[in-house]
Amino acid sequence: MIFRTFEKQELKKLFEILAAHNRIIGPVETGRDRDGRPVYAFADVTDYDDVELKYSITKLPAKRFFLPFKEDLSTFRIENDTWQKEISYNVDRPLIFFGLHPCDINALNKLDKVLLHSVYPMPYYAAKRENMFIVGMDCIPQPYCFCRSMGSDTALHGFDMFITDLGSRYFVEILSNTAFNFLKNIKTSEPGEDDHVLYMKVVAKRNNEFTRHVDTTDLTKILDMEFQSEVWKEWGDKCLSCGTCSSVCPTCYCYGVDETVDIDLKGARKTKMLHSCNLIDFAEVAGGHNFRPGRENRLKYRYYHKHRGFVEAFEESLCVGCGRCGESCLADITVPEVIDSIRGSGRNK
């Protein structure tokens, strides 16, 4: 890995150079909540001053840019008795993601495992993933995130460059040749020994700020053993089966496919829509049989997929510990609490 440092005002310069030629997605403020706290989202940015580099976390992850909530897999031209199928991967230009936090970068790395590196790689994702340029940015630990427990508090790969705020200047890790070349547009310098010391200090300080932890030791086995546990029922009673958790999750990718005919009957389309395993019809089949009829069955399955099935397949869990799902859940169902309760420690709380 190559490291550099640069003066803070250089970042603006870099942004502007990139913005002049590319579409940039970055964190912006989209409103204030009832307590006056800013609410952030990833959106198109053209003005550096709109980018909120010190954002806490976005409500929704950046996934809509590479796993849209709704996406046509194919369209059809209907010609009398027959049809022509047309496939587009729905991307026509590269995107720069400016300021992704480690958890969101790790989420992409996890998605890569199933959507790129397993059997039947998914071209819709691949096409967008291949056209991403990621500028990572260190984060400020929040009271609800437990990424450190999930091993996602730092991103080791999956970005082009990663910026850490050293206070007076920025420290940057460079992973791609493209990033290296882009950085030639601004003034950078080789980090000195004192920069390294400062970097370590900053990292150590941040590490101390993580407050939420969850014990994942042996979790796959425990989940298996506690399949019939009463605890699931308790969480199921609270769950609204509304799908919010999956919608806000940076790693949830389950979907459904809908085929529709255009009202003029001249075309048809096959649309993929992100679904949620908590929704009532997730495992329902024609004729009405539901393989997961109860709220607790469905909620439990979400944990099974993330913390057991994915681990079996890819040696790591499908959760980066960003805490978004718990924060957005109106019923206050949070991953750490559910896992704690399954381990027994959270019981009778």
Ligand X SMILES: Cc1cc2nc3c(=O)[nH]c(=O)nc-3n(C[C@H](O)[C@H](O)[C@H](O)COP(=O)(O)OP(=O)(O)OC[C@H]3O[C@@H](n4cnc5c(N)ncnc54)[C@H](O)[C@@H]3O)c2cc1C
Residues that bind ligand SF4 (CB under 6 A): 244, 248-251, 306, 319-325, 335
Nearest to 331, CA basis, from 292, 283, 299, 304: 299
Enumerate residues 6+ apart whose C-beta is below 8 A from 121. Answer: 115
249 binds, among ligand SF4, other proteins, ligand X, none (CB under 5 to 8 A by kind): ligand SF4
Kindly indicate which of the ranges 161-169, 206-214, 289-297, 341-349 contains the residues binding other proteins, using the contact rule CB under 8 A: 289-297
- Contacting other proteins (CB under 8 A), which of 53, 126, 202, 203? 126
Q: Is 339 exposed, middle or buried (0-12, 13-18, 19+ CB in 10 A)?
A: buried
What CA dihedral angle connects 43, 46, 48 and 53, to 10 degrees? 10
Q: Is 297 in the site for other proteins (CB under 8 A)?
A: yes
Tell me the DSSP string of 105-116.
HHHHHHHHHHHT
The helix (run of H) or strand (run of E) holding residue 338 is helix 335-343
Q: Is 288 in the site for ligand X (CB under 6 A)?
A: no
Would you say 299 or 335 has its CB closer to ligand SF4?
335
Give the shortest CB-313-to-ligand X separation in angstroms. 20
Give the shortest CB-281-to-ligand X separation in angstroms. 9
- Contacting ligand X (CB under 6 A), which of 285, 288, 348, 349? 285
Q: Between 3 and 32, how does the x/- string for binding to other proteins read (CB under 8 A)?
A: --------------xx-xxx-------xx-
Would you say 191 or 336 has its CB closer to ligand SF4?
336
Give the shortest CB-249-to-ligand SF4 separation in angstroms. 3
What is the spatial distance between Cα 59 and Cα 42, in angstroms, rounded to a whole number? 9
Give the shortest CB-301-to-other proteins separation in angstroms. 7
Residue 226 gets the label, from left (phi > 0), alpha (psi -120 to 50) or beta, of alpha
Question: How many chain residues touch other proteins (CB under 8 A)?
Answer: 107
The DSSP bridge pattern shows strands 38-45 and 255-261 to be unpaired
Query: Cβ distance 2 to 11 under 8 Å?
Result: no
Q: Is 204 in the site for ligand X (CB under 6 A)?
A: no
Q: Is 203 in the site for other proteins (CB under 8 A)?
A: no
